[in-house]
Structure 1
Amino acid sequence: MSYHFQAGGIRLPEFSRGDRKTQVGSTKHFTGGLVLGENEGVRLGTDSHIETNGSLLLRYHPTTLDLVEQVRFSWYDEHGEYFDHFIDLVATRTDGTVIGYAVRPMKRASHAYQCKLARIKQQAIAQCFLDDFRLFTEEDVCPVALHNAKLFHSLRRPDAFADPVAREACNEVCGTTTVGALVDRTRLEGMGFRAVVRLIGSGHLELVRHERIERSTEVARVRAN
């Protein structure tokens, strides 16, 4: 994604902050990339479809402050020999905790692999490198949360005209309302819907129930804009 600036033209995304480059292409497995963050954003590479889904789910979870891929950690085995392990995803949360994720299909998460992760987890926590280290598989992908994360990602670019109108409509909310009712207040139809979704993504509005975001979705105001 490129980003247009009024005075500086087009600015490309920043390079990945990972310690290892992910593959650009492969004949044997999925490869991809995302641009995350505000304005021009930062590139994040993925080596599997599960990594892509996991990146979206983690990045757009309300407790996530930052997300980096392929973070190097040096660990040692039972013989004292050191190795480099690249942690697939590392999420920094709003409470300051740092959680690492090893992303792998469940069918490839063998007992030996999980024992290796347990050793790495123990050492990473002891060294204050991570607060926790978890295995992320396809079983952790919630279809509803993934749908909403993809929606947040596709609509992340701000709209200087529609967003203030949606914020004003949001500030008038008392109790709960629906996405459609807020859109109707903006009188901006599709632009209004996208702006309301951004307010959900930014945490100004929250879902009353865990469901796909649609016009009928009920929301409550969390904080004033």
Structure 2
Amino acid sequence: MKKITKQQYLKPNTAVRAPTPSGEVWTPPQPSKGERTFKLTSKGSVRGFVVIDGVRVNFESRAEYKAFLVIRARLDTLRVVEQSPRVEYVDADGRLRTHIFDLKVFRRDGLVVAVDVKPFAKVKSSRILETHSLIAGQISPKIANRLLVFTERMYTPSDFYNAELMLGVARQHCPEDDEAILKLVARMKGPMKVGDLVAKSRLKGYGFNAIVRAIAAGRLVMTERRRIDYAAVVVPAPLH
């Protein structure tokens, strides 16, 4: 193993910027917008929470966490609320029941989708489709326009990787980086590798992060469904 001197060890890394000064007062995240709360401790499932856009988002399983991020990353999604909506319906035996969906998705086209997250292998045994069939005929369109059972077969590992990546870089506030990348995007004549765009920006890793934010915002489009990395190819989004 090569040894280094104390002076070499303490030499500033020019590839890493100085941290952005933080405010003197910490603002706690807003509480969950969901209609159901639960204890985070459980022996039977992976529970937890994550702060997204300044709001606490609770999840009752790893599958719910993945579904939330993947759906949130879609360009046609406006926002997502977990553990909502709560609806009442009459079951096949005439009894009044309450059902709380895992996610409520507000889409940019005005549709509101109530989503239940299930492993594909348990969709049939859970009889969730029968439950949705009953609810569909009774739910008010003011609550949801569409019902969906979301399984792991509806997204790829790359979709989830990209969704987590987008969430991570979205927490960075670097408007100058974003502006520099968007100027390059405006001059693009066709497809370009992410690595080449990073090189043109001269921002190194910070340029890559800005490109990810441009993809998340719909300013750049991937040419194929894959992970966002330096080898991925992007094109400017068509103007509307």
Do these two structures clear the TM 0.5 threshold for a shared fold by scoring above it? yes
How many pairs were matched up?
A: 217
Give secondary structure in 2 for the equivalent of 1:114.
helix
1:161 Cα deviation (Å)? 3.4
- CA shift in 2, pair 1:201/1:35, >3 Å: same
* Distance of 1:207 and 1:106 partners within structure 2: 28
Which of 180, 187, 197 lines up with 2:212 in the alignment?
A: 197
1:207 matched residue in structure 2: 222
- CA shift in 2, pair 1:42/1:77, >3 Å: same
Give secondary structure in 2 for the equivalent of 1:147.
helix
Contact 1:23 1:47 in 2 (8 A): no
* Distance of 2:21 and 2:71 partners within structure 1: 28
Is 2:198 aligned against 1:175? no
Supply the RMSD in Å over aligned alpha carbons.
2.1
The amino acid that maps onto 1:148 is N
Alignment gaps of 5+ in structure 1: none
* Distance of 1:140 and 1:53 partners within structure 2: 11
- CA shift in 2, pair 1:147/1:7, >3 Å: closer
Alignment gaps of 5+ in structure 2: 1-19
1:114 Cα deviation (Å)? 2.5
Is 2:121 aligned against 1:107? yes
- CA shift in 2, pair 1:112/1:167, >3 Å: closer
1:55 matched residue in structure 2: 68
Which of 36, 48, 66 lines up with 1:20 in the alignment?
A: 36
**Greater mean alpha carbon deviation, residues 129-138 or residues 156-165:** 156-165
1:45 matched residue in structure 2: 58
Contact 1:5 1:11 in 2 (8 A): no
The amino acid that maps onto 1:24 is L
The amino acid that maps onto 1:19 is E
* Distance of 1:82 and 1:89 partners within structure 2: 22
* Distance of 2:48 and 2:215 partners within structure 1: 27
Contact 1:53 1:141 in 2 (8 A): no
1:188-225 residue CA offsets vs partner (Å, 9 max, x unmatched): 1011111111101111101111111111211111168x
Give secondary structure in 2 for the equivalent of 1:192.
helix
The amino acid that maps onto 1:47 is E
1:1-225 equivalence runs, <5 A: 9-37=25-53, 41-71=54-84, 72-109=86-123, 110=125, 112-124=127-139, 127-157=141-171, 158-222=173-237
Give the TM-score taking structure 1 as reference length.
0.88
Q: Choose 1 or 2 for highest CA Rg.
A: 2
* Distance of 1:141 and 1:49 partners within structure 2: 14
1:71-102 residue CA offsets vs partner (Å, 9 max, x unmatched): 11111223443222111011111101011111
Give secondary structure in 1 for the equivalent of 2:197.
helix
- CA shift in 2, pair 1:219/1:150, >3 Å: same
1:172 Cα deviation (Å)? 1.7
Identity of aligned residues (%): 29
